[in-house]
Structure 1
Amino acid sequence: MPAVSETGTTPGDGSVAVLARSLLDTASIPRASGQRLRVAPAHALTGEQLAAVQELTDRVASALGLPGVDVVPEPGPLTASEVAVSRRLALRTPGAVADGAPERAAERALAAFPGPAVVLPARDGTPLRCWSAGPEDAPAVAVVSACGMPVGLAAKWMAALSPEYRVVTWESRGLFAGDDGKGLGPLPDHTLDAQSEDVLAVLDGFGIARAHVLGLCGGAVLALAAAARSDRITSMSLWHGDWELGDDTPKTTHQRDIESLLTRVARGRPQAAAMHRLMSRPSTLEGLRPDIAHYLIHPYATAELLHRYGLLNGVIMATDCRRLLTAPQPALVVTSGRDTTAHPAGSTYVARHLPRAGLRTLPEGDHLTAFDAGAGLVALARGFLRTVTVPHRRGA
């Protein structure tokens, strides 16, 4: 191919830079499955064009250290996770590619925010894929994302808060494979105690003594559980929490359906495999936001992931949180009347019963917009953080 400069960075524009970022953004699924995914291009390609796309994709994936993908001529028959990845990659005919461009694009993608994972041990030795951003001497914020979600779903919160705070986050134990190509490691413990201790283990690994915890969805349950067990958690903000509160609050249809699904797949791998065959249909993607579907589908991508997700998130959704509502730290509880995923009445109850909590019920936004870290949400988070964190850095 003739040597030309790299141009274009619009998603799906066929540039090498965008391809590298997209492959890295969807890497959790092929890493965990241990095999090449089939992906369809964004539009019909001739045989020659298909070969060129495959060659370039293979080169970029190899430079990223990722399993390659098999580019197929038509969208079907693909699984739901393959369709989600296909949509994110939006492969199209590449233009002329400069010598060394795939390798340079891969290097830049790997270095881009939030950067490569740091693998830290949980207290039972389980490896945790972790990230840190922001000044090391600033007050710390631990972002506790929803169970089973890749780091990309929390990256906007990291980017928004890291100019003022040291922000750390991690991916759920046992649901994400490392970069060594060995697939998923063991899952020795899936209890709520183990998962909430991971909050403290991440702080240990980064040398952080005390932190605010920002919990999203089921991550709000883990944040609260960590605060109830340790005064190293100095304050918390709990966003659109997915709470189990017995008969004291209602649940949405979504909460009831997911809890039933998780109970079923947690019973054993045969049950998970049977359910996975049903959930692999592309119709599973209906109702999922296309821009983040490749994150949301991760814990459903393989039968083994689905079984482990049933164990981990099943415990989060089934634990009666009323016993945790003695946590004395100052707390901000946020929900929206438009949240049809996690019933806002749960957050209202939690705010009413925590000793030092305030409630904000927003007029706009649904469950998933909490992950978008929009300007209004970030301003709310920063305003609360400034009231509960040390206003100066250590040593200043």
Structure 2
Amino acid sequence: MSKTYLSIDVYTAARQRMERVFDDFSSVYLSFSGGKDSGLMLNLALEVAREKGCLPLNVLLLDLEAQYQHTADYLRRVADHPDVNLHWVCLPLHLRNAVSQIQPHWLCWDPDAKDLWVRDLPDHPKVISDEAFFPFFRRGMEFEEFTLEFGEWFSEQHGGEQTACMVGICTDESLNRFRTIVNEKKTRWEGFGWTTLETPHVYNAYPIYDWSVRDIWTANGKFGWDYNKVYDLMQMAGVSLHKQRLCQPFGDDQRQGLWLFKILEPDVWAKLVTRVAGANFGQRHVQEMGNVLGNIRIKLPEGYTWKRYAKFLLATMPPDQAEHYRTKIAKFLKVWRKDIRSGKYPDVDRIYDFADPRIEASRKVPSWRRVCKVLLKNDYWCKGLSFSQTKRDMERQLALVTKYIDL
């Protein structure tokens, strides 16, 4: 889908979108992470909310524990802002760990691992650490589950009115973010393409979706807005503007930046290595090409077919991980066999051991090499086999973990 450019600058357009949000919704909050995008959006929203008489501004922050100290300092500055009503959530959430098969997930703020926490619980009156505070919360919720439930809870606190959650994503940074905006299946508020219906009572609004990274830093400099100073360290470390990201550091994509912790904040890095399995392994090998983490080209061991190699890899995994992957692989093969029989793909007549790498990469042909790449990449949700994370997957995962713990 092609982009259509407006005749106004991104600053003016974002202000107009935010003004519309405050005009149309009496229940509004902002999703904040401490990164450059949400930080920019916070500053801009405060400016508009002040003019609209909509202060204090409600803000949701999910603090995932494994943060740079500079990020922690920035969060505290935001919490201390007199015009911000911050919901600073420090609760045990279930997070992805893509650098270990032994511990493929971890629990931030886990009460049973308090002596290993990367940071002490923030001592601030706006911190929410009581697991009974939210009626919907259960220990080990997924990040995505919590954000959806919070939106409905927030709406209930405001009389069940339609609620707007402003989210600071810039589509210039990734294709997935661009798809979020242009997805024609989404329900919009009053037809505005920069909004999506997320739950029955909550619309997400993306007021800065068309900003570039240069726009963000230009605005911070021009208006003297506060931001997370860890970006200054990233700049000094030679990281390009487009690769300066902040997020929980162990995710499938986020693990690429693990090495930065060691350089920027060695004291925090030492705690990360102790806190989450595979952290040091990840920062050493995540950018290497080859079989260690399945990047780019992978090689077949001598005497193996790709199918046999896949079975070998499964046999070396912890039982719960192996069962999880076998279920996904079986579904992958079943779907392709059905499509082959129906003639949906005329050029595909079987499950191949391997095929043209370019066709495999486009996911237009089934092969055991694709399966092996998923296993080597520790691609838990099997995105390389065209799967995505679903609520049913999360329930099955919990059942698997419980099953093998009980054993």
User: Normalising by structure 1, what TM-score?
Assistant: 0.28
Q: Computing the radius of gyration over CA atoms, which structure comes out larger, 1 or 2?
A: 2
User: Normalising by structure 2, what TM-score?
Assistant: 0.27
